Structure 1
Amino acid sequence: MSQTTTQVAIIGGGPSGLLLSQLLHRQGIDTVVLERQTRDYVLGRIRAGVLEHGFVELMREAGCAARMEAEGEEHHGVYLAHQGRMDRIDLAGSADGATVMVYGQTEVTRDLYAARDAMGGSVIHQADKVQPHDLKSQTPYVTYEKDGAEHRIDCDFIIGADGFHGVSRKSIPADVLREYEKVYPFGWLGVLSETKPASPELVYARHERGFALCSMRSQVLSRYYIQVPLTDKVEDWSDEAFWTELKARLPKEVAEGLQTGASIEKSIAPLRSFVAEPMRYGQLFLAGDAAHIVPPTGAKGLNSAASDIYYLYHGFLDHYKNGDSAGLEGYSEKALARVWKAERFSWWMTNLLHRFPDMSEADLRLQCADLDYLFSSEAAQASMAENYVGLPY
């Protein structure tokens, strides 16, 4: 068995793990990233595309923001379509000038890979049978297999950024871990197409036929979603059927200008809320989807992972540079406080805009009243804007 040593071993080579590795490397803190899949597989994932202003600042601090700032779309507002009209939330005007950046997660990951390569960062792909050990000791380590050989990494700390199905969370004893979950009775059918976006800013639509969203990745790449039953399969939806249904749920002025085309990716994602507590066990720290999942309504998934990375990054800086471990000791409590607020916001937006199968007429009227209140109150709009652009770290 080969044996190496690092300061921070990171399980998971998605954007969370890569971002933390890049930030720490720039501060002289050594890391090794282990990823089960190939780089091409990681870059083939089609995920989030709306970045909070705090995430943008982290990318700048990591030295990875040049392409994002050149090619990303800074958005100052967002539209909610409801009851036959389109209302706009002025994000910048309601949240002290803060905005969001529309830039695909795939591109974020590509930029982070390029930065890790440029600095000679250690990212090991196709690491199989990864397992953390001795988490309650001061000498934890990680084992894995690659190309038929066994390897061991001795380290000070282990970061579990390996997603919902990864090994990290499962390494916390059942009598310590508490899990909270809410499953929604529908999914989102998403289509990616090489077409001009239907609107200069995102459009979230509440409609009697179900929710719809017009999003984008660039001025020539659009991402659209419609709410569908969990029983639906991708094969049930031709491109033509998707475009027809999407147009039926959008305001007339948006539908008439919608450019359609062949889908280059089509998938159905179920919606759920999930939180695991605590996010630290001994020398193991959970981050991102390994610890929490939100419905995509409100774009908080990747952004919540970024806040975890912010707290870990500053905790490690204080630990290694100043001998102060308070940030690491308080990581779980601080991270969870922000995570639960993101969960609340995603839950609120999901309930505000979706058609639930068991909704009564009273429920529908309450939805309408909630939307009417939102657009009659500057305070309510400021609250939504503050949450949408990202609560402070």
Structure 2
Amino acid sequence: MAAPSPDVVPSARALLKERDYLLFWASRWTGSFAAQIQSVAIGWHMYVLARETRSVEESAFLVGMIGLAAFLPVLLLTLPAGESADRHNRKIVLQLCFMGEIASVLVLALAAWKGFASVPLLLVMAGAFGAARAFFAPANTALGPMLVPRILLPRAIAWNSLAWQTASIAGPAAGGLLVAMSPTHAYVGAFALYLVAALCVTLIRQNTQPQVQPGSRWQLMKEGLAYVWRQKIVFGAISLDLFAVLLGGATALLPVFARDILKVGPEGFGILRAGPAIGATLVALWLAANPIRARAGAFMFAGVAFFGLATIVFGLSKSLWLSVAALAVLGGADMLSVYVRQTLVQLVTPDPMRGRVAAVSSVFIGASNELGEFESGVVARFLGPVGAAVFGGVGALVVTGIWAKLFPALRKADRLE
């Protein structure tokens, strides 16, 4: 039988025959759903607690501190987390991570129910959640490619993103409705979803033990860092995501916009939180059916540029629905750039090194998300929330131009093969 042509892309139906991948996908969806609900709840909970005694600007700063608290463990643990994903059974690592997330959300639920929640407690629990996610990200990223044939990997990456994005629509909307009843309801809902995600991982049958490379732990960690530095396409892609989203992290300020600028309450907050995921899901569906075949680098840079423009529009908007539309464009643009980045990184990285490379990538992503929340809170403290959003959008556009010049190989990247 002749080998399939490299131009022939298997249909999405081929993924339905991969039992373990479907379990992995279900785990990714339910785990992402739970994380989104927890994120919405803790952000709203923090803002409400802070506003009892503090100004809008001070409360926005404390919401941003949640991002910093979640990011610090990622920064400190990322190298050992990546090495663990390349040394230990990746399924077991994920199970332990889910146990950590379940423990953190149970403490939050108890604190909300019994009324002893406080700003310091929320920050500590955000840190505990960040520690679990530090190990979760590299193990999860490295496990997926083990469960599908290589020719299906671009489609699997698109569907992985689709799982996260559809959960990111349902999660914030459900979180907004649940926190409108009470934060306790939101935390309990996240707990139930984490249990389902852990069960799906447990049912995976394939061998998920990576081929361990020789050398000490420190040598393996240094190899991962050196590989990312040498591979300029990999380094350029993940650093572009870092600085663009770090500056354009306006979504961290959504509790502020919902309560004190747009004045739409917790239900409107849930709608706003769902906005980016609506756009991202539409783009992910399109990419799942129509994988990018050429000019991948140009698509990535265009996505980051539109992300910055949409952030500016969101910051200046005084209408709920214009804000939701801007957030949807923002999410769709981010999905496009993330798809190209993830596909490029996973295709060029050998399996024995995927955990370490994913760990380095997770630090950049964590910095762009959690540290971006902190940056937005700090800037909002001085410029106000509107000024912080506009500042971030302009910054993302500037970064796009600089990175296009610094990394010409990334800009000229063509086929995702």
* Greater length-normalized contact order (CA 8 Å, ≥ 6 residues apart): 2
User: Fold conserved (TM > 0.5)?
Assistant: no
TM-score when scaled to structure 1? Answer: 0.28
Which structure would you say has the larger Rg? 1
| Larger strand percent | 1
Higher helix share: 2
